[in-house]
Amino acid sequence: MIKKISLLALTLALFSSCVSKKIYTDLEDKYTNLKKENRSLTDEVETLSSDNTKLSNELDQLQTAYDEAVAERDRLQGEYAAAKSNLETLKASYKALEENSSASIAKNSQKNRELLAQLETKEQALAAENERLNTLKQELENRSKRVAELEIVIASKDAAMNKLKDAISKALTNFEGKGLTVEQRNGKVYISMENKLLFESGSWYVGAQGKQAVKQLGSVLAENPEISVLIEGHTDNVPYNGNAQLSGNWDLSAKRATAIVNILRENEAINPENLTAAGRGEFAPIATNDTAEGKAKNRRIEVILTPKLDEISKLLNEI
């Protein structure tokens, strides 16, 4: 995928001024499809989080069913004990009357048979309820085990992302206060670099200081091969009137994102398949565009680091 994006960006950069509108439009369509794919991956993460919540709710329902089964078992045991006590009483009465009346003996014998039949029925009901209870208990234990494993994996991913954030913050300490921030939210790490650290106005060439910051970021990413890296270019809402090869802010933001990808690719330890470049133009601001300060914040590169979710998907399929 990254190779396709890089080829698309290179083609736009070198031949956009001399190719037909159809070819240029085809390239734009390919870029749009790649962007939709990236959004689809983001929706998948949200779907997995929703599935985790649904499983927790199902676990609660299963626990409630288990508790109800325990209560029913206890009720049947109480009835069984009462019936058994009655039987013992009748046996005692039968023994006392045995010498007095054959009619009384016959009557008590009938009651004994009836009570024995009732006792047998209750024993069967209790055995069936115990079997159902054991089945529910086993199912509850299996579900609990899978949910616990899933929670451990998610916690591990969060811990790994927190460790990654700390490593990046440490590597980029020299650039704090120069338009660079690092934060963790929603299970991802976000690195935001304002354009004043990276580019001259209207340019997509990365300056020496910005290149140093990107390379130091790359040294951390090289040690975390299981992380997906999305580089987004952003602009303010001022129309671009610079290089005639570019169609506007969106094109400029894509060029800048690709420039960051190219610097990261200089580190051979980084897998190019983990890299994605995207331009978002002025359509995802983080501050108002009504002030110079707000526009400066909006002119930025955002590097979004996401853990791969293959292991979580496997556990969800097993539950």
Q: Are the CB atoms for 306 and 45 separated by under 8 Å? A: yes
pLDDT tens for each residue of 210-234: 999 999 999 999 999 989 999 999 9
Give the CA radius of gyration of the chain: 35
Q: Dump pLDDT digits (tens) for 69-120.
A: 889 898 988 888 898 888 888 788 777 766 676 677 677 788 888 888 888 8
Give tens-digit pLDDT for 22-32: 887 888 888 78
**pTM of the prediction?**
0.53
DSSP 49-77: HHHHHHHHHHHHHHHHHHHHHHHHHHHHH
Please, are residues 216 and 167 in contact by the beta-carbon 8 Å criterion? no
Q: How does 252-270 read in b/e, with b if 16+ C-beta sit within 10 Å? A: bbbbbbbbbbbbbeeeeeb
pLDDT attached to residue 214: 95
* Best-predicted range by mean pLDDT (53-67, 171-185, 272-286): 272-286
Q: pLDDT band for position 20 (50/70/90)?
A: confident
pLDDT on residue 304: 95
- C-alpha closest to that of 214 among 168, 246, 154, 152: 168
CA dist 58 and 54 (Å) reads 6
User: Cα(200)–Cα(300) distance, rounded to whole angstroms?
Assistant: 12
pLDDT at 1: 53
Give the whole-number percent of the chain exceeding pLDDT 90: 33
pLDDT for residue 312 is more than 70: no
**194 has a pLDDT exceeding 90:** yes
Per the listing, tokens 């369509």 go with 29
d(CA 13, CA 254): 11
Q: Are 271 and 193 in contact (CB under 8 A)?
A: no
* 8 A C-beta contact, residue 299 and residue 194: yes
Residue 43 exposure: Cα atoms within 13 Å on the Cβ side = 6
- CA proximity to 235, closest of 199, 260, 205, 208: 199
Asked if residues 1 and 273 have their Cβ atoms less than 8 Å apart, the reply is yes
Going by their DSSP bridges, the two strands 275-279 and 227-234 should be labelled as: parallel
As given in the structure block, the two tokens for residue 93 are 């009465």
Query: What average pLDDT does range 188-206 have in this prediction?
Result: 92
Confidence (pLDDT) at 106: 74
Tokens coding 142: 């299996």
Mean model confidence pLDDT for the chain? 83
| Per-residue pLDDT reduced to its tens digit, 253-274 | 999 999 999 999 999 999 999 9
Query: Which pLDDT belongs to residue 169?
Result: 80
Give the closest residue to 199 by CA, choosing from 240, 255, 239: 255
- Residue 198 CA to residue 112 CA, distance in Å, equals 95
